[in-house]
Amino acid sequence: MRFLEACKSLVISFTALFSTSPFSDNSNSQQPLVEYLSNGPPEHDAYAKFPVRFDSPSGPDSDNPAPPFTCKYNFDRPGWRNCSTASNRKCWLENTETKEQYNITTDYENYYPPGIVREYWLDLSEKTINADGVNNPDGKVFNGSYPGPWIQACWGDTLKIHVKNNLDCNGTTIHWHGIRQLNTVHMDGVNGITQCPIAPKKEATYIFKAMQYGSSWYHSHYSLQYGDGVAGPMTIYGPSSSEFDEALDPILMTDWSHQSAFKDYVRELTGKPSIPKMNSVLINGKGNFAGAFNLTKFTRHIKQGNRYLMRIINTSVDTAYIFSIDNHNLTVVTSDFVPIEPYTTDHILVGIGQRYHVILHAEPIPTNGWVSSKGNYWLRAIPADGCKAFEDGNQPDERQGVIRYNKEETSVPVSWRPTWNLTCRDEPYSKLKPMHRWKVPLMDLPPSDDYFEVGLQKNPGRPHEHDDFRMWFLANHSMWIDFARPTIDYLSNKTWNDDSVIVESQAKKDEWIILVVTQPAKYLPVPLPKPGMPVVGKPERLMIATAHPIHLHGHDFALLAQGTDWTDLELGKVNLKWDNPPRRDVALLPSGGYLVMAFKADNPGVWIVHCHIAWHASSGLAMQIIERKEDLKTLLSSKDPEMVAQMAQHRQVCKDWDAWFKKNEKRCAIPPNPFQDDSGI
Ligand SMILES: *[C@@H]1O[C@H](CO)[C@@H](O)[C@H](O)[C@H]1NC(C)=O
Ligand SMILES: *[C@@H]1O[C@H](CO)[C@@H](O)[C@H](O)[C@H]1NC(C)=O
Ligand SMILES: *[C@@H]1O[C@H](CO)[C@@H](O)[C@H](O)[C@H]1NC(C)=O
Ligand SMILES: *[C@@H]1O[C@H](CO)[C@@H](O)[C@H](O)[C@H]1NC(C)=O
Ligand SMILES: *[C@@H]1O[C@H](CO)[C@@H](O)[C@H](O)[C@H]1NC(C)=O
Ligand SMILES: *[C@@H]1O[C@H](CO)[C@@H](O)[C@H](O)[C@H]1NC(C)=O
Ligand SMILES: *[C@@H]1O[C@H](CO)[C@@H](O)[C@H](O)[C@H]1NC(C)=O
Ligand SMILES: *[C@@H]1O[C@H](CO)[C@@H](O)[C@H](O)[C@H]1NC(C)=O
Ligand SMILES: *[C@@H]1O[C@H](CO)[C@@H](O)[C@H](O)[C@H]1NC(C)=O
Ligand SMILES: [Cu+2]
């Protein structure tokens, strides 16, 4: 019942943010449904009415430049040309006749240029991965390599990605992290919620529009599968809030284990011999297991005086990093998919699932009066305190890569050790100022009974049952989805299983939804125990102070407030920021603290909210929000031929899964546990 109550307070205010079109015709805005789904203009000049073609710098570095990536647009009016130059990256396209622009302040949620369709093929198979000098025999990779291929597109393109599952005993679904999926929830790639798993030997095609730009990653949402290697980088080229000359290829930072996450998971539930611990840190799939310091390091070459765009992506299972380059500052220009006013810093904290674009100015700065004379510098990724778990005696080396000015120089960099504060946190709230500003209408917070509290409960009746608090909850129940019954197929249900942890929002089109997530220490003894330590508390619920990176699908959210003391909210001591608050798709719920998130109900769908620590998501830390259920039913049953075809595929994927599962459930389960031994997401 509580959730019917809760949904009332999930509704909120009216004042919508109607943006007036900056364009003289409305041709590229608010397209009808078919625009989001259809193949769009094909990649042939012959079809183009008023084509614009230009190159965007891509990577990997100065000595080894990749072919630039060509953006292709087909306008239906004359006068458009590209305007992104090294001295003005804020501009993307402009019309020389009308002076209209697609640029860094454009409301990209509503307006984007007319791109083309880009097609990719991802073939998932098993492979032993040697990423750090030690074999992981349980690796699962796209197209034979880890990380998977770099998916690239330009702002306004449509992506069409064919996924083939060649695994023996796992289904798969692929999620495009941070992509808004406007009117395409069925392409969000979450089994049990937006689709059934793709069965072994079967394939499916994901089609969606890249309305945002920046960097991100794609990863499996099938249980713990991404921890075994099922992840890759994704870049959507667009404007930048600060200038740069060249771009480096994406930097994927991840933690890594020497065996399958499916095997490590039992440790999360039993705590024996300890909660799961990782073995090393990898950059773009390469690392050095403790001691083996002589393996090839990630290396990039730069030229003095140039400015480089670097795309940093944290694809960890369990680790947040502090990223820095010795003797250099970084100018931060985006957080997740949101361009921000540039700010300069000497290190940034990157939480799981978070991404930053930063600009590296190739001019070393003396630190304590010292600069490397050989022109080589460590690129560091230091696991943050309170957001990491590595095997004892096995702390990864933080010197994860080398930036070199001099091609001939091969020596190991010599340098000072940075003295960053290693506490796990997000980048400072006050620094994340989006370029396209949101003014969130003033709203009341829901009553405190409707806060979503993160805590732990026991796991009666579940696999690996034992008498301890090991299952997380976010909305009063630990999530446990049914692979074969995606929520979007059951929208007419009168009731929901508790295990599905569904919250129905009553918000109408363009009203706002507010979500308050807290980690109250109500039942905690004082002083607070360290994360991972046993706690004596209220018997049926346990609140333990740990930081959680909270991720919302289907929207960027405005972060109205973020704090480290949950009692401040109840005492009314929290100032909410309505005028252009930070905006992103993952925010760190501080240990014992709170998050106040708000987003506009402009995207009908079933959107999951979950912790991006893989172990926590697997043990239930998630909920589903149904946004505008009636509009969603209308959308999914649309007679638009593209939607009809896509929903036919959707049903076929479920049919294939059911058939495979019937035949293989027994063979693929690991006794004494059933086939599914975690939440499934
Ligand atoms: C939370 O879940 C527990 C256990 O299932 C149930 O007894 C309780 O009524 C629920 N509380 C609310 C507020 O829904
Ligand atoms: C447009 O792109 C072309 C080809 O990449 C480049 O030569 C030209 O300078 C660009 N024009 C502008 C205005 O940036
Ligand atoms: C972006 O373009 C609009 C016109 O479409 C213009 O008003 C605005 O000033 C431009 N912003 C920047 C940062 O150039
Ligand atoms: C997935 O595959 C792994 C082996 O790589 C196996 O241990 C696990 O049980 C499988 N799980 C499911 C749910 O398919
Ligand atoms: C790396 O170091 C280890 C241990 O110090 C040594 O056994 C190994 O031969 C070295 N490998 C290379 C390629 O130098
Ligand atoms: C990734 O995020 C996790 C959790 O927030 C954090 O512990 C880890 O240090 C991050 N890794 C990097 C390389 O930023
Ligand atoms: C580099 O960043 C640090 C920390 O933000 C700042 O104190 C320092 O002034 C910066 N130096 C330069 C040259 O920008
Ligand atoms: C490090 O940062 C945390 C949180 O931002 C703060 O509470 C702590 O006092 C800082 N520690 C030091 C030694 O400055
Ligand atoms: C919806 O109802 C069906 C049939 O009763 C049930 O199998 C399914 O689990 C329900 N779905 C959810 C998400 O509760
Ligand atoms: Cu968590």
**pLDDT value at position 260?**
82
* pLDDT band at 134; cut points 50, 70, 90: confident
Cis peptide before 57 (omega within 30 of 0): no
Give the ligand at the shortest distance from the Cα of 288: 5
245 has a pLDDT exceeding 90: yes
* pLDDT band at 139; cut points 50, 70, 90: very high
The dihedral sign for the CA sequence 154, 159, 110, 185: negative
Rounded to 10 degrees, the C-alpha dihedral 474/547/264/140 comes to 90
**Is 227 contained in some domain?**
no
Average pLDDT over the chain reads 86
Mutate to test the pocket of ligand 6, among 253, 255, 316 (most ligand atoms within 8 A of CB): 316
**pLDDT value at position 394?**
67
**Is 113 contained in some domain?**
yes
**pLDDT value at position 17?**
39
The rounded percent of the chain whose pLDDT value lies above 90 is 60
User: Mean of the pLDDT values across residues 116-135?
Assistant: 90
**Is 442 contained in some domain?**
no
Query: Which range scores top for mean pLDDT: 13-22, 108-117, 275-284?
Result: 108-117
425 C-beta closer than 6 A to ligand 8: yes
Q: How much distance in Å is there from the Cα of 169 to the middle of ligand 4?
A: 6
Domain co-membership, 294 together with 357? yes
Give the ligand at the shortest distance from the Cα of 296: 5
Domain co-membership, 609 together with 564? yes
Structure tokens at 438: 């949101």
Structure tokens at 351: 């939480």
200 has a pLDDT exceeding 90: yes
**Segments in 519-675 forming alpha helices (H):** 567-570, 614-618, 629-636, 641-668
Q: How far is CA 517 from the centre of its chain?
A: 18
User: Mean of the pLDDT values across residues 35-55?
Assistant: 60
Distance, CA of 499 to CA of 480 (rounded, Å): 5
Angle in degrees, CA 274, 131, 169, rounded to 5 = 70
Rounded to 10 degrees, the C-alpha dihedral 523/526/529/531 comes to 50
The dihedral sign for the CA sequence 272, 274, 280, 282: positive
Specify the higher pLDDT residue, 197 or 252: 197
What are 490-536's pLDDT values in tens digits?
999 999 999 999 999 999 998 999 999 998 876 654 444 455 555 54
Domain co-membership, 37 together with 95? yes
Specify the higher pLDDT residue, 397 or 47: 397
User: Do the Cβ atoms of 320 and 351 come closer than 8 Å?
Assistant: yes
The rounded percent of the chain whose pLDDT value lies above 70 is 88
**pLDDT value at position 6?**
38
Q: Which domain holds residue 126?
A: 2-214
Domain boundary among 368, 400, 431: 431
**Is 437 contained in some domain?**
no
**pLDDT value at position 265?**
83
375 has a pLDDT exceeding 60: yes
CA atoms within 13 A on the CB side of 529: 13
Residue nearest to atom 11 of ligand 3 (CA): 105
Domain co-membership, 421 together with 495? no
Domain boundary among 385, 404, 431: 431
Domain co-membership, 19 together with 134? yes
Q: How much distance in Å is there from the Cα of 82 to the middle of ligand 2?
A: 6
* pTM for the structure as a whole: 0.89
Specify the higher pLDDT residue, 623 or 396: 623
Q: How far is CA 436 from CA 109, 240, 256, 339, 356, in A?
A: 10, 12, 36, 8, 17
**pLDDT value at position 570?**
85
What are 455-482's pLDDT values in tens digits?
888 777 788 776 677 889 999 899 999 9
**Is 148 contained in some domain?**
yes
Lowest-pLDDT choice from 120-129, 223-232, 384-393: 384-393
* pLDDT band at 12; cut points 50, 70, 90: very low
Cβ < 6 A, ligand 3 pocket: 22, 90, 100-101, 103-105
423 has a pLDDT exceeding 80: yes
Cβ < 6 A, ligand 4 pocket: 138, 169-170, 223, 260, 262, 668, 670, 675-676
627 has a pLDDT exceeding 50: yes
Specify the higher pLDDT residue, 438 or 406: 438
Domain co-membership, 347 together with 270? yes
**H/E/C letters for each residue in 100-144?**
CEEECCCCCCCECCCCCEEEEEEEEEECCEECCCCEECCCEEECC
Mutate to test the pocket of ligand 2, among 82, 85, 245 (most ligand atoms within 8 A of CB): 82
Q: Which residue has the tokens 């069965």?
A: 199
**pLDDT value at position 28?**
44
Domain co-membership, 584 together with 473? yes
**Is 220 contained in some domain?**
no
Domain co-membership, 203 together with 250? no
What are 546-598's pLDDT values in tens digits?
889 999 999 999 999 999 999 999 888 999 999 999 999 999 999 889 999 99
26 has a pLDDT exceeding 60: no
Closest ligand 2 atom, residue 55 Cα: 5
Quote the crossing angle between the two packed helices 629-636 and 641-668, to the nearest 10°: 100
What CATH number corresponds to the domain at position 144? Answer: 2.60.40.420
**Is 669 contained in some domain?**
no
Return residues with CB closer than 5 A to ligand 10 (ion).
Answer: 548, 611, 613, 616
Distance, CA of 480 to CA of 679 (rounded, Å): 4
Burial environment of residue 299 by CB neighbours within 10 A (0 to 12, 13 to 18, 19 or more): middle
**Is 515 contained in some domain?**
yes
Domain co-membership, 187 together with 261? no
Specify the higher pLDDT residue, 470 or 611: 611
Residue 380 one-letter amino acid: R
Domain co-membership, 415 together with 534? no
**pLDDT value at position 22?**
61
Give the ligand at the shortest distance from the Cα of 52: 2
Burial 133-169 (b: 16+ CB within 10 A, else e): bbebebbbbbeeebbbbbbbbbbbbbbbbebbbebee
Rounded to 10 degrees, the C-alpha dihedral 375/378/379/380 comes to -160
**pLDDT value at position 315?**
73
- How many distinct structural domains can be found in the chain? 3
Q: How much distance in Å is there from the Cα of 389 to the middle of ligand 4?
A: 23
**pLDDT value at position 133?**
77
Closest ligand 3 atom, residue 91 Cα: 14
Domain co-membership, 69 together with 151? yes
Domain co-membership, 25 together with 146? yes
326 has a pLDDT exceeding 80: yes
Lowest-pLDDT choice from 55-59, 147-151, 204-208, 419-423: 55-59
